[in-house]
Amino acid sequence: MSYIAEQVDDEVQQRSYWRWSKQDFLPEESFQSLGNYRHALSQTCFRFKDRLTSRSDDAIEIVQLRKQSENEMKRCLNWWDLIWFGFGSVIGAGIFVLTGQEANQTAGPAIVLSYAVSGVSAMLSVFCYTEFAIEIPVAGGSFAYLRIELGDFAAFITAANILLESIVGSAAVARAWTSYFATLLNRESNSLRIHTNLREGYNLLDPIAVAVLGIAATIAMISTRKTSYFNWIASAVNTIVILFVIIAGFAHADTSNLKPFLPFGTPGIFKAAAVVYFAYGGFDNIATMAEETKNPSRDIPIGLLGSMSITTVIYCLMALSLTMMQKYTDIDPNAAYSVAFQNVGMKWAKYLVALGALKGMTTVLLVGALGQARYTSHIARAHMIPPWFALVHPKTGTPINATLLITISSTVIAFFSSLDVLASLLSLSTLFIFMMMAVALLVRRYYVRETTPQKDLLKLIILLLIIIASSIGTSAYWGLKPNGWVGYVITVPIWFLGTLGISVLLPQQRKPKVWGVPLVPWLPSLSIAINIFLMGSLGDQAFIRFGVCTIVMLVYYFFFGLHATYDMAHQQRKTESLKIIDHEDAKTNLGLQNPV
């Protein structure tokens, strides 16, 4: 049997990367014939129950699934690379575009508080990501973490949102790139787009965004190390521009522009915070680079926590400088900083700001192309999507197929959709993912399969439901009565008691080996509450779009993903059984050859 396995490995190594057979896209037994597929559909309920209750484990994600890529990604990154990747992946369209949009329409000068609220929520999520990324250093990021702790179905819903976030996020940044490029040419922000008679929000076609996405993806596919060098240079230029914006902005500050500070009331702060959360969304790309990091246990915490701390401070200072430099009613929603400097007499500065914004958005697209492809490749390793997308190119050490999938999808959306249509949907998807991550961390700390008593598991489930339900209640009450207080007297203490119950009634079953989230369960529980609260602050349209996308995801899952992952999991079990039999046979033969 081991000889056959070696032959299979040799055959895999000799196969061409560029191949298009059915076996590369649909290798699972359920899709080998129409009869097989009908049989699979007839077992949908049984298979769904199996996938709902089954869990992956660390070894499967770290070792076994990586073999699906056939070639290893190259370990070439250190903590310095990760800090710059974190910086480059975050500072882009969010701060340069959404700041002006939300200050003008939603929060006013209080946009600085919106960034502070989002920053706190993002930092709590960074804590969760850091612990997981150290313990499970794979390209799958949150998808891999949730497969281990919450099971395949929860991981699929998250994976689908990850793909949605990746595609929509890249499209949004590319659209913003075009706006700032037009400003750099001293033209109106929409002047480079093709005007059509399509529906509002989809009537400005953007071929430049398509081209920019294609260039960024090409660089990312060539080499991770070379992409890192390019990111260093572009981020350094961007840093100089950011320092200029902050210093020059405060030099031309007029405190009277901060009045009224809350023109849209307190609800405006949280509604804007939910949207500008998009500006923090790129940090999870760092976790996906764990397979290419030389020393994950040291480099990932420095890269994640360091870059996010710096970014939060920068965002708050930039938002404050903008609203002090120009009254919120006069801020241009599309190119806020460039127009603001022009209005205070620094006409030349708008070109510098536009150039810096372009640099920032270019690095966001570049790092996004890296991280998103690695997410996608690991999702394909688990056969949630065809395993063809899991393949790593033997020469470049990059997942080219996965990069192409994300890039082509992003270009289609970027060509048609406006930034305001994309941003709210993206923020809702991101907040949902980070909320799930906090739940998964609590499960990891307080539940270990075949170790935790059944009564403790039941307690954990009940207390988690209390935390989530009370957080939803707080968010709903805020939406219905933002100036009320009676509802909070009920929901907030219930959240507190749920968290206290986990702390007092349940012993931690697993301690992190290197670095862990402090103040567990309080910080993860607070992350759940804040993320759900910010989700509730988004408009109805965001939830409608999110609901439609979720329905599409579920249709895909029950007709394809469920059966592919079921076959994949059971094939792994058969392989493990054969290995055990092979090992037992070897021991038996050894005993016969060496009788005592």
pLDDT for 10 equals: 47
Place of tokens 């014939």: 33
Is 345 in the same domain as 239?
A: yes
pLDDT for 469 equals: 96
Is 515 in the same domain as 565?
A: no
Is 136 in the same domain as 162?
A: yes
Judged against a pLDDT cut of 70, whether residue 588 lies above it is answered with no
Is 42 in the same domain as 63?
A: no
**Structure token digits, residue 187:** 């033209």
Mean pLDDT of the chain: 84
Cβ proximity of 401 and 16 under 8 Å: no
Q: Is residue 6 part of a domain?
A: no
**Residue range 461-477, pLDDT digits in tens:** 999 999 999 999 998 88
Q: Is residue 586 part of a domain?
A: no
Q: How many domains does the chain have?
A: 2
Helix residue ranges per DSSP H, 447-521: 454-480, 486-505
**Residue range 297-339, pLDDT digits in tens:** 888 888 888 888 888 999 999 999 999 999 999 888 867 887 8
pLDDT for 426 equals: 65
Is 297 in the same domain as 204?
A: yes
Q: Which residue in 337, 334, 313, 316 sits closest to 325, CA to CA?
A: 337
**Structure token digits, residue 61:** 């994600």
- For residues 234-257, give the mean pLDDT: 86
Q: Is residue 594 part of a domain?
A: no
Q: Is residue 78 part of a domain?
A: yes
13: left (phi over 0), alpha (psi -120 to 50) or beta: alpha
Is 529 in the same domain as 564?
A: no
Quickly list DSSP for 116-131. Answer: HHHHHHHHHHHHHHHH
* pTM metric for this prediction: 0.81
Cα(42)–Cα(46) distance, rounded to whole angstroms?
9
Question: What is the band of 576 on the pLDDT scale with cuts at 50, 70, 90?
Answer: low
Is 413 in the same domain as 553?
A: no
Is 267 in the same domain as 298?
A: yes
pLDDT for 139 equals: 79
The CATH number covering residue 426 comes to 1.20.1740.10
Which structural domain range is residue 416 located in?
58-538
Q: Is residue 489 part of a domain?
A: yes
Is 26 in the same domain as 163?
A: no
Q: Is residue 5 part of a domain?
A: no
**Residue range 482-529, pLDDT digits in tens:** 777 888 899 999 999 999 999 999 999 988 888 889 999 999 999 999
- C-alpha 207 chain-centroid distance: 26
